[in-house]
Amino acid sequence: MDIQKKTIPVKGMTCASCAATIEKLIKKMPGVKDVSVNFATEKMTVEFSPDAVSLGEMNEIIKKFGYEADISLGKEDFGKLPSADKKIISECPAPLRQPSGAAEQEKQSQLRAQRNRVLFVMPVAVIVFALMMWEIAAAANNKITPFLIPHGIYSSVLLIISTIILFWIGQPFLKGIINFIRYGAANMDTLVGIGTLSAYTYSAVIVLFPSVKSILALPDVHYFDVTVVVIGFIYLGKYLESRSKLKTADAIEKLLNLQAKTAIVIRNGKEQEVAVTELFAGDIIMVRPGGKIPVDGVIVEGVTAIDESMLTGESIPADKTKSDKVFSGTINKYGSFKFKATKIGQETLLAQIIKMVEEAQGSRAPIQRLADKISAVFVPVVLGIAVAALIVWLALGSRFMPLNQAFRFGLLSFVGVLVIACPCALGLATPTAIIVGVGKGAQNGILIKNAESLEKLHKISTLVIDKTGTITKGKPEVTDYLEADGGQIKNNTGDTANENNLRILASLEKNSEHPVAQAIVEKAMNRGLKTGKIDNFRNFEGMGIKGDFKGITYYAGNANLMDELKIPYSRTIIEKLASQGKTPVFFSNEKSLLAIVAVADKLKENSPAAIEKLHRLGIKTVMLSGDNVNTAEYIAGLAGVDKVFAQVLPQDKAEKIKELQRQGERVAMAGDGINDAPALASADVGIAMGTGADAAIESADITLLAGDISKIPQAIMLSRKTMRTIRQNLFWAFIYNIIGIPLAAGVFYPLWGILLNPVFAGLAMALSSVSVVSNSLRLKFTKL
């Protein structure tokens, strides 16, 4: 059975209970394998069989409950859909068929509409709140000036104001009641709607039908002010929450803004400006100074420096020349150049980054599971508590106070419980922190595959690091050039080495494809030496090479070749070089040794500092290497690594990871090669160096785009700070509801005479969600 995975925006969610309701509805549908709804990102990720169920059918189900899915797709995806979905999408209203950019504009439009309503309701709510406090204070303290507005006039004015606010500004809350009656689905809007409508209805009956008040001996007290102020405060909270949620996702917006809209392509020998969507792989593209690189490719002409900070987090432009790779979204700083497009559209690195960040921001961390379970049953439980509070006040309270007073307290408790309970704070606690944390990582060249990886990383106790390409540069370089005279080392001349010998050696090595040979040729080229023609070139398998230069035969190779030629050399020097992880290359003629060149895979300059930071974070470090023990221990000593596994075969790397895990360690593995992929997959968290193989990156949970080892401690710090923020959010969300609901229900009234006015309950509820989102936003400004 063919299974598709789609991520779809969903409109109409107002709290975490909405997300739980949608999940419950979709999971019941045949053909749905899994579904996850994220309230913070307002998106649904669903795995389903298109043969059994369509996206359109899912949308029809949730529309009955007041939600709507944006099932618009690109041409490629549209073509793959079953005919049922094509028909539904075609019949969708225009806003639902717009691209993601339009969806963002729609959110901004909705935010502006919310803002306009807040600007209307809040001045009214503040004035009514002030008058309410004056009335309460004057009744409690005779030193305060009595309330001057006649009760009848004040009641009539508030009836009109509260009617306008409840049935205009409070429409979403009333719709929540209607959905609850029709479908049995309740959310935060349902709670607020029932609470404010109850206060309004009671007050309207008291004011409009005085005889009812007299017959039931009800006190001459109304709660129009509660309706006005609660709706005002909660609507303000919803507006601030929506605005903050948009800010949490600005990392994606910044990445999208990096994309170039047009490109200068050379076709039929002429330059022409075209939209990026019209480019093809193989196109030759011209980029001028200051221009954005539109797609991924390889430079074919020109030299330049490119700002790749969007990938690496490094502000210094990277020098580029012919055959170097360039990436979409980076900025050309200096020279003009031409490059050949190799990856376009969704294949570019930038597009892959955006996709990975979006998926990670929408994923769930294991720590969120408890909050999700509570959110799923939160609203029905709170409704039950509110009704129970009213019944208890009437049944027990009437024994200790007049019935009309017990009813008044019961009504206040009923409204207060409904208004103060907030599943939103619980629902936003984890995803908002994940969204900001993942976005912060992307801005620093740290790509996190999912929320679970981010959570696991903060628990890591041991980091296993592959040597080649992770701790070291992954490319052999000449480290020493030792002149020789009759087999004895004459001096270490470094950059003042005999240029003629180096030129001949490079000429000889140019005929070899061995990485060590390439390092020697590169050394000569960097010195400005031109290689010459070699005649009679020959390769000695496992030993070295030979060739004639201007009629003289020269040899380059290892100690075995020198032994074969019976050319003497200093074994002490060779042992010393070997102990330092360096490979000696002997250069000789037919009679004597001319020079020894030492080649090694050098340590990255920032490796020791990165290892030191890891130690400060309490992380043990282990290095894996296929090299001999001497070489591996020498490199580990330079870097400051705690433990070394040397002479480890590629197929044994994963077993070393499992060995550490059996010892109780939580292991992260950092590597860059294809042979690292099994070990990366076996580790609790796999970290791929972005400069490495695609297989390693695919197997990893976290990718460091610049291949910079110093990003590893930054990633761990980001994980720890994100998890700390999540715990803070969850703590306050739980504490707020644990204390707030009993307080509103009147549990503390018999002990200390405390009963929370629904107005303050509404204010507290509004602030709870805003405080959680604001705490998450602090991550944006944290230093890694």
Active-site residue numbers?
466
Residue pair 90/79 in contact (Cβ under 8 Å)? The answer is: no
29: helix, strand or coil: coil
Question: Rounded distance, CA 257 to CA 251, Å?
Answer: 10
Write the CA distances from 32 to 12, 136, 292, 700, integer angstroms.
22, 56, 42, 28
How far apart, in Å, do the first and last CA atoms of the chain sit?
A: 45
- State the sign of the Cα–Cα–Cα–Cα dihedral 288, 292, 298, 304: positive
Place of tokens 């990871």: 657
Question: Rounded distance, CA 95 to CA 70, Å?
Answer: 9
Place of tokens 């020079």: 595
Residue pair 546/587 in contact (Cβ under 8 Å)? The answer is: no
CB-side neighbour CA atoms (13 Å) of 23: 18
292: helix, strand or coil: strand
Write the CA distances from 146 to 135, 141, 759, integer angstroms.
8, 9, 21
Residue pair 413/742 in contact (Cβ under 8 Å)? The answer is: no
CA of residue 243 relative to chain centroid, distance: 19
Q: How many residues would you count in the chain?
A: 784
Query: Helices 571-579 & 629-639, crossing angle to 10 degrees?
Result: 50
The torsion angles phi and psi of 45, rounded to 5 degrees, stand at: -105, 120
Place of tokens 């009923």: 414
- Beta bridge mates, 546: 538, 555
Q: What is the DSSP letter of 397?
A: G
Q: What is the DSSP letter of 317?
A: P
Question: Rounded distance, CA 456 to CA 667, Å?
Answer: 10
Q: What is the DSSP letter of 168?
A: I
Contacts of 781 (CB under 8 A, 6+ apart): none
Q: What is the DSSP letter of 756?
A: -
Q: Name the nearest CA neighbour of 12 among 42, 45, 56.
A: 42
The torsion angles phi and psi of 576, rounded to 5 degrees, stand at: -65, -45
Residue 577 CB neighbours (<10 A): 19
Contacts of 82 (CB under 8 A, 6+ apart): 50, 51, 54
Question: Checking DSSP bridges between strand 620-624 and strand 643-645, what pairing results, if any?
Answer: parallel
- The residue type found at 87 is K
Contacts of 666 (CB under 8 A, 6+ apart): 456, 459, 460, 461, 462, 684
Question: Rounded distance, CA 47 to CA 44, Å?
Answer: 10
